Amino acid sequence: MDEIRSFRDLKCWKEGVALRKMARPILNRFPTDEKYRLTDQLIRALRSVTNNIAEGFGRYSYQENIQFCRISRGSLTEIQDHFIIALEENYVTMEELQMVDNQTEKCMALINGYINYLKKRKDAGNG
């Protein structure tokens, strides 16, 4: 793994940002009556992905960092579920759902890899 000096260097954080940017124009098309319901929930979950990666990084404890990554992972599955609801309500197309789902899966794989890296570092007695 390349030298990581900031959470901004983490590939899982960068891909989480890409997910957030990908979803934003889609959310802008949601009906206004969903503003404080589905749209707000999605915005919070999208932000939670990167927020928790950043917060975990700042904890300087492998175990705490892992826990925040697990929360981030939960936010990814929440996003997937919300987009399924959006499809059911005809707010998104199947193609948009698939695009977001592919990006969430990419983020999930990267977070899982980062968690495995953190576990190995922890087990090696580095924190």
Record the tokens describing residue 81, joined without a space.
């579920």
CB 110 within 8 A of CB 15: yes
Q: Tell me which residue has tokens 């492998």.
A: 62
Biggest CA-to-CA distance, the chain? 52
Render pLDDT for 16-58 as a digit per residue (tens, 0 to 9): 999 999 999 999 999 999 999 999 999 999 999 999 999 999 9
Could you state, in order of their start, the residue ranges of all structural domains in the chain?
Answer: 7-123
pTM higher than 0.85 for the full model? yes
For the cut 60, the answer to whether the pLDDT of residue 127 exceeds it is: no
CB 46 within 8 A of CB 20: yes
The reported pLDDT for the residue numbered 2 is 66
Render pLDDT for 92-103 as a digit per residue (tens, 0 to 9): 999 999 999 999
Asked if the 7-123 domain carries CATH number 3.40.50.970, the reply is: no
CB 13 within 8 A of CB 7: yes
